[in-house]
Every structure is written in C-alpha cells, then in structure tokens.
Structure 1
C-alpha cells in the first residue's frame, strides 16, 4: 500500500480544502493522514453513532441542499416546457415528451456521463490539495464534450426518420423531429455546462450554481408561458426559451469563474487542456457508459409505450409519471453530487473511514426523503394529474400508476446515491457492466414480457423495468459493503499522481 501520509499531509495543511461545514463539527486538519486512520473517531455506542451522524449530516447537507435546489431548477426547464405543452395539445405534449426522453435524453446521457469524469478527478485532486490542475481538467472536458456534440448533431437533424425507424407513429415522429432540430443549441450548451458544474461542485461552490439556476428558472417559466401560450408560438416558442435558459446559465457560470471566485482552481486558459486527451477520453467514456445505461433505461419506458394501443395517451400518461419521478430523483441527484464530492475529497485526503460513514448518512437521508415524497404524491393522487393534462383519459391512467410511481421514487432515491459513491471512488467501468446485466439483460426483457405478452400495458413495462433497478441497487449495496476503503484511498492517491500536475507540467 502506498504511503499517503507525507505528500497529502503537506498539501492538506497548505490548502485545507475539505472544510465542508458551517462550523465543520471537527477539525479535519488535525488528523494524521495514515492509510488506516482518519479524522472520524471510533463508533462503539448508539450515542457515538448519533453524534457522528449529526456532524456528517451537517457537512452533507451543506453541500446537498444547494445541489438539490440546482438539480431541481435545471430539470424543471424541460419539465415546465412539457407542462405548458400539455396545455397546447395532446400531440404537442407527446412531441416534447419524446424529444426530451429519446433524442435529448440520449444526448444528455452521453454528455453528462462524459462530464462526470471530472467528479472523480476534480474531487480527488481538491481533497489532496492539487488545485492547480482542476481548471485544466475542466478545459480538457470542454474540448472532448464539444467534439462529442458535433458527433451527436446528426441525431437531432435526422431524428424524425430515426423515430419512425424504431416504431413511433408518423404524427409524433414528425412533430418531435421538428422540435429536435430547434433544440440543437441545447446540445452545445450541455457541452459547456456539465464540466463547469463538476468543476464547481468539487470545490463546494454549490450556492453560486443555485442562485444562477433559480434566477434562470423564474425567467424561463415566465417566458415559456408568454411564448407558448400567450403569443401562441407553441413548440417553437418553447424551444427558443429552453435553449436560451441553458445558455444563460452557462454564460453566468463562466463569468463567475473568470471573476476569480475559484482562486487557484482557475488560473486561466492553458494549452495543457490539449495534452493527454486520449487518456482523458478513456476515463470520460467509462463515466459516460455507466451513466448513459441508467438514463437510457428510463428513456426506453417512453419508447416502449409508443408501441402500445392508443399510443398518444399511453405516452402522455407515462411521460407525466416520469416527469414527476425526474423531479423527485433530482433530490437524490443533489445528494448524489454531495456524496460524490464527500467521498472523492475524503479519499483524496486519505480519510477512508470518513468516506464510508458519509455514504451511510447519505443513504439514510435519501431513503427517508423518498418515503416522504412518495407519501405526498399518493395522498394527492386525485389532484395532481390535472396540472399536467386536460385529457380525462390521461389523468385516469396517471392516477392508476401513482402507487407504482411512489414505489419507484423510494427505490430511485437510493440508487443515485450509490452511483454517486461509485463516481467519487472511480468505479465507473465496473458499474457499467452491472448496469448492462441488470437493466438490459434482465429489466427490459422482463418489462416487455409483462407489458406485451401478459398484456399488462404500461404498468407491466414499468414493473419489469423497476425490477432491474432493484437488482442493480442490491448489487451496488453489496459492492459498497465489501469495499476496502483504505485500499480505495491508496488508489485515489495513485490516480491523483497519474493525472496531476507532475506529468502534465513537465
């Protein structure tokens, strides 16, 4: 095992990057960073557990609260556009649902996944005190994601024939195809946004992201109503506002970074961004495959619903449910971002026991929140469908799907937290194999069997596919339980040395 104590101790004392607190609860810099010891004291009694739980909970939510808020705001851009589309017409709602879930969802998965490599690299570099390389990492990710956006652009241009090829109806495919072409600017906004988000998250700059997203959401809601309904521009108006909202966020965040708010983490544009690109691409692809397999899995729900009888109603009902599920999962994604930062920072600083305990606190918090959100939804099942559609048939299907929706909320509030640990620890490649087996070899075949062969319709497709999510969650839980966190801290130091300034600056 590598000797972590000397280099990490000197860097840590100089930079002190992990004080995730209002008060921090305990002083991280007092610990001796030996591989088998860190700053969390032994937990022998219930009182010890409660004390440390409260301390870690404060640290976690100091990061998670603004991250949850930011995730909900940014997700709400597409969801609000979809909500207003439901007031325009049934075909407009179906077009926005398919474009968001299939075309934009496909690209979103790739782009966010490629950008997620920064969660591992920036988080562990920040924990180890190697702040200088974080800006270079972000710029490398920009280069890779802009090239990826160019490669993905034909998917938007030829989306109508692609949707027809996979069995969507003529009317839905044509409407979604036109909308997809209008949404090309959003693809390039993703290319800038995701690296910036990971760069800021690793430094716990969550509050700035929250403020920017909140202001953008207020304007997005007003102008979407104005253009889509008041001025009668329909889908064209929704596309204009949605593109503009994402670009406003990008520009505001870039201004924040260039203003000097990130200190040593941003030292200006550098040609080092073009060095060692292929190695960075490999790591980015591992992250992309892991995340894409998860996002595309739920995208497939909307796709399969298009093959059922009365496809428009089925797609509309299921898209409303997945829309709400997406909103609630944004809470888990906020905790995902926070736990990824906590785990990567603590492993980078050779605090394996603290990384493990952070995970326990995150899972418990997310599970309790999932139960609360599911309960609220079930209690209001007679009322909330009318917010999304004026069609009585759609509302009735949504009402019947609410119990399944509540169950999915609970399960999907735990799974992203475990995925966040995987990203923070750098396990993306292995988790990608897990996702293939659980989602595509088990969940989708079971969903198709229950939905079509057993004639259970939307509920059958969804039930089978949530089975795949449950299996994946159990496997991730087993992986985390079996993890040697001291060894992970050693791996983190090796990763920092490999990607750090020594090799690049020479």
Structure 2
C-alpha cells in the first residue's frame, strides 16, 4: 500500500499538483492504521501460530512474548510508511537520513540499557524497538507537517547462514536506497511529462547499481575468509561461510537489478503487474524449488537459498522484459490524465470541506 503512495505522490509532485499530496497521505495513514489493527491479532496470537507450524513450546512462548512487545511498533510502522513515501516523493531525503541515523544511535543505547543493564530480556528488546519506532514517527511527523503546509523474531538457525545473510542485507540496503531514488525520480519525471528523462533515469540507475554490485560481488568472493572471521573464530562456521559465499555473490549481483526495476515499477504505477510477478516468482517457483532442494536433498540451507535465487532470477527477468517493452511517451500521457483526475478530486474535497 505504501508503494502506491510513492507512485501517486511522486507523479503529483512532478506535475506540481501539491494540494493533492496531503490528501493522498491522509488517506494512506487511515488505511495503514486499519491494516495494522487487523495484523495485531496475528501478533497477539503468534504463539499458537508458531506451534501450528511445528515450533517447540519454548520457542513459541518466546516468539509470542517478543511479538506482543512489538504491537506498538506495528502501529508506528503503519504510520511511518506513508509519511516516508510522502517525503521521498518531494525529494526530502537529507532530513530523513539524519533522523534515521539519530534514532538508530538512540535505539542502540536504550536497547543496551534495557537488555544488559536492567535485565529486561526479550520483552525489553521488543519494547525498546517499539519505542524507537514511535520516536522515528514523531520526528517524521514534524517534518511532514513542515513540508505539507513482517515480524521481527530472534530465530537464529545457524551462525554461518546469519553471517552471510548479514552481508547480503548490507548490500540490499544500498540497493534499496537506489530503488527509492529511482522510484521518486521516475514518478516525478512522468508527472512532469518528461518521458525521455524518465527513461534516461532508468538507464543511469540500473548501470550504477550494476557497477556497485559487481564491485561488491568481487570483494565478497575474494575476501570470503577474512569477512567470516569478523564474526567468529570457529573453523566450522568459517568453513560454512566460505561454502555459502558463492550463493551470497549471486544474490548480491541479482540485487543490482531486481530492487532497482521494482522501484521503477512503483514510480510508474505498475504495482498490479508487479504483484502478479512477485507471487508467481516466489510462491509458485522459488518456494517450491527451495523446499524440495532444502528438505528432500542433502543441500539443506543451501537448497533453500537456491530456491530463493531462482525466484529472484525469474522476477528479475520478468521486470527486465516489462521495462524494456515500456513506451515511456504513453506512460507519461497516462500519468498526465491520472494526475488531472486527482487534481479535480482534491479540489472537490477542498470545496466540500469549505462548505461545511
């Protein structure tokens, strides 16, 4: 739902229809809040869900305790997403970055105090996370006012996998930033009726991300042993990381395309098509293959990872075909019509409020 906010707000901002931005964000806040209330039931009864999928009683109890501590975070996250997309659509990124870094440092401090100094344990960890998210929402809300005049469980399966996935997450954060930039830029340029600039933006951001991915992939392959030693001194874990590094390298390379093209799709308003692509690639291709390789062969965790890689590859291929076949002049024309309808709707709502 938040990606739709980024699409419409980005296009409206590019078309200079500023009045519509606030109305879009307000509607999204209401919808996200309602969705958070519904999801709260899953958090509250997460223990039963974990037991239903075969987890032990002890893990289910800990998971439920942690999930219930995250209930405030769920609501905060629901409010945060529309505000974040609202600000990004207007290219307000520097204040968001400063706020995020400040809240991160604050969260590290209070988490350390709650868990290690006061001994609040797992519940303390989840409650401090919830509190930090509300601080983030409050600070974003201030920035929002000035300009507008899925579950976190501590489930450690094996240290070697966690070490590799952690490096993958670092790379993914870089690509996520480029993805957001691509989404905002494409949405703005389509809204401003600049199809050639939108197309050029896609080429530039894909080339940039691919270049970064190639460099990181080479570094990971060359430094696989030193990188593993940053996390552990166990020879068994180091060997496991070395064995999993080629899969990590493939994932990093695919990250140079898939998140970027997803951002382009969001900026262009193709969420419906991309949703079908994601469901088909992950749930009908990647997940079944991963389950077979992971549980029916000797590959284990590597088999599950191979399934995910295949799913991402299929998704990436579909997005490449979709982007390559795009008529950007036609997209700009469609956006112009949509923005005009949005402007009329916003004007009608303002007049209705004024009459009241």
TM-score by length of 2: 0.91
What does residue 323 of structure 1 align with?
166
What does residue 238 of structure 1 align with?
125
What does residue 220 of structure 1 align with?
107
What does residue 193 of structure 1 align with?
80
Q: Cα deviations across residues 117-142 of structure 1 (Å, max 9, x unaligned)? A: 11111000000000111111111111
Separation (CA, whole Å) in 2 of partners of 1:237 and 1:394: 30
Q: After TM superposition, list the pairs within 5 Å mapping 1:453-492 onto structure 2.
A: 453-492=296-335
Q: Which has the higher contact order (CA 8 A, sep 6+)?
A: 1
Q: Cα deviations across residues 428-477 of structure 1 (Å, max 9, x unaligned)? A: 10111112222111111111222122221000111122111111101111
Cα–Cα, structure 1 residues 384 and 181, in superposed 2: closer, same or farther, change >3 Å?
farther
Separation (CA, whole Å) in 1 of partners of 2:162 and 2:57: 19
Separation (CA, whole Å) in 2 of partners of 1:362 and 1:416: 11
1:483 offset after TM fit, Å?
0.6
Q: Cα deviations across residues 246-266 of structure 1 (Å, max 9, x unaligned)? A: 1111111112233x3x2xxx2
Structure 1 position 203 matched with structure 2 position 46: no
Cα–Cα, structure 1 residues 235 and 399, in superposed 2: closer, same or farther, change >3 Å?
farther
SS at match of 2:113: helix
Separation (CA, whole Å) in 1 of partners of 2:144 and 2:252: 35
Could you tell me whether the CA contact under 8 Å between 2:107 and 2:129 is conserved in 1? yes
Question: Where do 5+ consecutive residues of structure 1 fail to align?
Answer: 1-113, 268-294, 307-311
**2:342 equivalent among 479, 492, 499:** 499
SS at match of 1:382: helix
In terms of mean alpha carbon deviation, does 471-480 or 167-176 score higher?
Answer: 167-176
Could you tell me whether the CA contact under 8 Å between 1:313 and 1:394 is conserved in 2? no
Structure 1 position 360 matched with structure 2 position 203: yes
Separation (CA, whole Å) in 2 of partners of 1:379 and 1:386: 14
Could you tell me whether the CA contact under 8 Å between 2:183 and 2:267 is conserved in 1? yes
1:355 offset after TM fit, Å?
0.5
Could you tell me whether the CA contact under 8 Å between 1:128 and 1:348 is conserved in 2? yes
Question: CA RMSD of the aligned region, Å?
Answer: 2.4
Question: Where do 5+ consecutive residues of structure 2 fail to align?
Answer: 352-356
Separation (CA, whole Å) in 2 of partners of 1:245 and 1:396: 37
Could you tell me whether the CA contact under 8 Å between 2:65 and 2:122 is conserved in 1? no
1:318 offset after TM fit, Å?
3.1
Q: Cα deviations across residues 64-90 of structure 1 (Å, max 9, x unaligned)? A: xxxxxxxxxxxxxxxxxxxxxxxxxxx
What does residue 417 of structure 1 align with?
260
Cα–Cα, structure 1 residues 368 and 230, in superposed 2: closer, same or farther, change >3 Å?
farther
Separation (CA, whole Å) in 2 of partners of 1:388 and 1:240: 27
Q: After TM superposition, list the pairs within 5 Å mapping 1:142-291 onto structure 2.
A: 142-258=29-145, 260=146, 262=147, 266-267=148-149
Separation (CA, whole Å) in 2 of partners of 1:434 and 1:129: 32
What does residue 3 of structure 2 align with?
116
Separation (CA, whole Å) in 2 of partners of 1:229 and 1:390: 24
Structure 1 position 141 matched with structure 2 position 28: yes
Could you tell me whether the CA contact under 8 Å between 1:448 and 1:464 is conserved in 2? yes
Could you tell me whether the CA contact under 8 Å between 1:370 and 1:410 is conserved in 2? yes
Separation (CA, whole Å) in 1 of partners of 2:214 and 2:121: 37
Separation (CA, whole Å) in 1 of partners of 2:244 and 2:113: 32
Cα–Cα, structure 1 residues 331 and 220, in superposed 2: closer, same or farther, change >3 Å?
same
Could you tell me whether the CA contact under 8 Å between 1:331 and 1:413 is conserved in 2? no
**1:405 equivalent among 226, 231, 248:** 248
Cα–Cα, structure 1 residues 148 and 388, in superposed 2: closer, same or farther, change >3 Å?
farther
Separation (CA, whole Å) in 1 of partners of 2:53 and 2:241: 25
Cα–Cα, structure 1 residues 393 and 154, in superposed 2: closer, same or farther, change >3 Å?
farther
Separation (CA, whole Å) in 2 of partners of 1:174 and 1:386: 33
